[in-house]
A and B are shown apart, each in its own frame.
Chain A
Amino acid sequence: MAVVKFDVKDLEELTHKKMDRETLENRIPMLGCEFESLEEGTVEYEIFPNRPDLLSVEGFARALRYFLGVESGLERYKTKDSGINLEIEKSIDPVRPCISASVVRNIDIDDHTLRSLMQLQEKIHKTFGRERKKVAIGIHDLDKVEGPFTYKAVDPGEIEFVPLGSDKEMNLKEIGTRHPKGDYVKIVEGHERWPVIVDKNDEVLSFPPVINGRLTEVSEKTENIFIDVTGTDQKAVERALNIVSTSLGERGGEIETVSVGGKTRPDLEPNSMEVDIDYVNSLLDLDMAEKELCDLAGGIGFGYDSGTFEIPPYRTDVMHPIDIVEDIAISYGYGNFETSIPDVPGIGSSQEIEEFTEKVKELMVGFGFQEVKTTVLTNKDKQFTRMERDKEEVAEMENALSEDYTICRKYIMPELLDVLRQNQHRSYPQSIFEVGDAVEVNKKSEVGAENRRRLGVLIIDDSVNYVDLASVVSSLIKILGKGARFKKNKDSSYMASRSGTVYVDGTEVGTVGEIHPKVLENWSIEKPVVGFEIDIDLLVESI
């Protein structure tokens, strides 16, 4: 989730349009983003991960100019050759093989531009760049260094430079341990040699994807910018470069190409994709002619000519004709579609277990019980320790954020005791039940575990006993069409000789009994409790 902040005035200047609250809050999200807040001239939007081109105010304003009708049609970015070369050494291949670069000249950098640039860089790193693993961007003051530049891998102890945010020379290893951004070293630390970009005089521009050198730090005095993008996916690297370069181009900079390992970059030629007009019309249930389609395409900055769309170079998300259909739909306006209900045949049918569950619920309510709903997620302490039960095999997570939720419940009754514990100051008697799914590990099943529908029931009062609930289980099962038989059991959650195992057709379906005082103590419950729990799936199978 990338949330970006834009200065409304800056946005207005770049869009050439005044924006009131209604536009900012309700109109703009129809472009495909989520309004978060508007405070003191700053507006916040959540940008979806498919649109990294909206992460800068310049890119966002560009999209708005189309969306609000200020501009239309494909914008072609002009480039000149900067004459600068970037050499790529083979040594880089195992660690971070992809790089691209561009130059933007004569840019008037003010506070807005600087902040937007930093925000764009940070957000691209986080989302599109997968925390800099896939893509990392470096932005430099070109005039502080001299081309040609070289991208290579070096021994981490070999090269020293002053990184951004520091005034001491450090080698790459030291940056990993001492620099605040040193954490990112983990992306390359499995390799013997780590990447650097150096200039003609071996001055370090950057230690990608970790930190730039202080030498090329960009400030309001910077006029000419050198952009490097490194990563593990060449396509993604080029796309990020296009987004950053055109974003600065929107600020008035002149984009210039760099020869990157012999290839001219950035490549700002539009991509083209063929999309059948019938495909668009049938998916959107519209009856557009070429002309209308062309207008809608222009309204989102796409070019269109007889079946072929031209996609601007900063749009990195178009990977199938369907993506263009969506942009056409957005251009048309989601609110402008005439909704309809198609005539798709179908006979409504429910799951047998759900219908059966409803019957069980109805009967339990008839017996006077209140339905509750507890969480499927729980922990072993609740499910076993507090129940005075030996631990059993359960479905268990490996990365739970909270210690309270580390496994899936196997039984419902422990969770119901927790409900009673939390309702002790309320009036008595309390008769509660839950019918819901629990999870049982089953190595033979496809995913190694399966859901079991279970019913758990408890009564708490000053005086309750075994018969109070055994009669309910017995009657319940009888009404559901079966006979229940009860046998003595030795379940340690219950009081000795005051509990039974419930059988239907010779199959054990559950237990019933008076909860052991030790268990009640474990839950800090101070009145007697009786309970039962049965496997509803088993019951359904037997009926």
Chain B
Amino acid sequence: MYRLTDEGKRYLEVGLPEKRLLDFLEDGKASVGDLNREIDDSSIAINWCLKNNWIEIEDGVAELKKSPENMHLQEALERIESGQEVDQKTIKDLLKRNLVEEIREDVVKQAKKQIKKGEISNLTPELIKTGLWKKASFKKYDPTKTGKEVYPGRKHILSYYIQNIRRVFLDMGFEEMRGSFVESSFWNMDALFIPQDHPARDMQDTFYMKNPCTANLPDRKLVDSVRKMHEEGDGKAEGWNYRWKEDMAKKPVLRTHTTAVSARKLREIEPPAKMFSVDKVFRNETLDYSHLPEFMQVEGIVADENVSFPDLLGYLKEFYRKIGFDKIRFRPGYFPYTEMSVEPEVYFKERGEWLEMGGAGIFRPEVTKPLGIDVPVLAWGLGLERLPLLQRDFSDIRNFYYENNLKMLKEAKI
């Protein structure tokens, strides 16, 4: 079995070159120059016409001698294209001129076998190669049936939230921070002016480490100014009025908030500065449907001499607006390291209720002063898991982190 080559297909369309030359001459003459200009593949055309004695050329002018009765090669192209038989001699000529090619016998066999079966369900490479698709009849489909659902490889639903939040802060010109899960009590608590006998240090809230069992403290000068702030304040500040112990500050913990990372950063930066992180924190709590001993915190600080409390509220409002919460309200809160302290609540239209999203405030001077910062520092530590938990179909936080219900993760809408 044979099929047209690309050139064969082209000549089927526009005519063989010799046919086009004869058509151009009609009964008259033309200069070779004209022929070259007017006819594509003119040299092939001229060769074939001379060979068949259809024209003669004298002094650069071609003249028709005798026109063939029919152009049997042109007809052969048509026959092959429509799947009809062509005699061997013609095939040989066409093969020589590279206008047809032979289809492998096994492919032809395959294709023929496929049509023989009657109604065909799927188009095959063999049917396409042999052109036998033209003779085949295909099974009719019901286009309203789309089959079972398919799921792409995809990111975890929480990753979309994290990415979005990172982008929001990067767009607002914040610099990203990274810290370590294991942190010294010094940075997690002491540097944040949390007194060493504060209930938050009680064993049930903080994971203390058995290994590593001790952490290095920063330089003596910083340690001493933190100690002094705790013990007696600085004249303006009254302090907590107790004996601060270095050993307690050296105890490594799993950080209970990423505010520890902010505290470290405050030590390094020169205001103005805007920093953020979206990272994990740990609390020694038992696992249930809404509590995990680890969760994400959206942390941010803005240090500048001109910032004020309404600016803090402004940042929070803008952040939540950018991630899709238009309604926000602010309630006074309490954290030992901020004053003013505020607990933002956002309105979940999906649930028709206000929900608390975390904490924010302006760092107390007792926090910033020992770290060498003498401008106000706005700070927030906001929850993350609540967003998908309350907006999506996840009613149980364990679906996220523990079980990773693959069906729900694959089907989760974004």
> A residues engaging B (CB < 8 A)?
29-32, 34, 48-51, 127, 130, 133-134, 233, 235-236, 282-285, 319-323, 325-326, 329-330, 334-335, 337-342, 344-351, 353-354, 358, 361, 364-377, 393-402, 404-405, 408, 419, 422-423, 426-427, 430-432, 437, 439, 441, 443, 445-451
Contacts and interface: CB of A to CB of B under 8 A. Distances in A.
B207 A400 contact: yes
Given A320-B365, A329-B309, A395 B212 contact: yes
Contacts of A233: 241-242
15 contacts: A48-B333, A49-B334, A284-B308, A285-B308, A335-B330, A338-B310, A351-B177, A365-B152, A370-B409, A371-B155, A376-B280, A397-B208, A401-B284, A426-B406, A445-B180
A350 B166 contact: yes
Contact of A373 (B182, B317, B401): B401
A401 B287 CA distance: 10
B374 to A, nearest CB: 13
A449 B214 CA distance: 10
A373 to B, nearest CB: 5
A338 B28 CA distance: 95
Contacts of A319: 233, 237-240
Interface string B279-298: 01010111100001110000
Given A337-B313, A397-B284, 19 more contacts: A34-B331, A320-B238, A320-B364, A321-B236, A330-B332, A338-B310, A342-B302, A344-B302, A348-B174, A351-B178, A377-B293, A398-B208, A400-B207, A419-B404, A422-B404, A445-B180, A448-B182, A449-B180, A449-B212
Contacts of B153: 364-370, 431
Given A29-B331, A334-B331, A397-B254, A285 B404 contact: no
A344 B309 contact: no
A5 to B, nearest CB: 20
Q: A-side binding surface: helix, strand, loop or mixed?
A: loop
B178 A353 contact: yes
Contacts of A334: 313, 330-332, 342
B209 A396 contact: yes
B332 A130 contact: no
A346 B311 contact: no
Interface string B328-350: 01111110000111110000000
Interface in B186-216: 197, 199, 203-204, 207-216
A341 B409 contact: no
A397 B210 contact: yes
Nearest to A234: B241
B12 interface: no
B400 A373 contact: yes
Contacts, number: 282
A19 B200 CA distance: 34
Interface string B149-171: 00111111011000100100111
Contacts of A376: 181, 280, 282, 294
Nearest to B175: A349
B212 A354 contact: no
Contacts of B294: 375-377
B220 interface: no
A338 B317 CA distance: 11
B363 to A, nearest CB: 10
Contact of B252 (A323, A347, A401, A448): A448
B118 interface: no
A441 B181 CA distance: 11
B188 to A, nearest CB: 10
Contacts of A49: 199, 334
A450 B199 contact: no
B402 interface: yes
Contact of A342 (B213, B284, B304): B304
Contacts of A401: 204, 284-286, 293
Contacts of B280: 376, 437
Given A130-B197, A399-B203, A451-B181, A371 B330 contact: no
B340 A325 contact: yes
A284 B308 CA distance: 6
Contact of A346 (B151, B152, B156, B274): B274
B212 A404 contact: no
Given A342-B306, A345-B173, A398 B155 contact: no
B237 A320 contact: yes
B166 A354 contact: yes
A385 to B, nearest CB: 18
Contact of B159 (A48, A361, A399, A447): A361
Contact of B339 (A134, A326, A341): A326
A374 B308 CA distance: 39
A398 B406 contact: no
B309 A285 contact: yes
Interface centre among A31, A372, A427 (most CB of B within 10 A): A372
B310 A337 contact: yes
Contacts of B239: 319
B410 interface: yes
Contacts of A439: 180-182
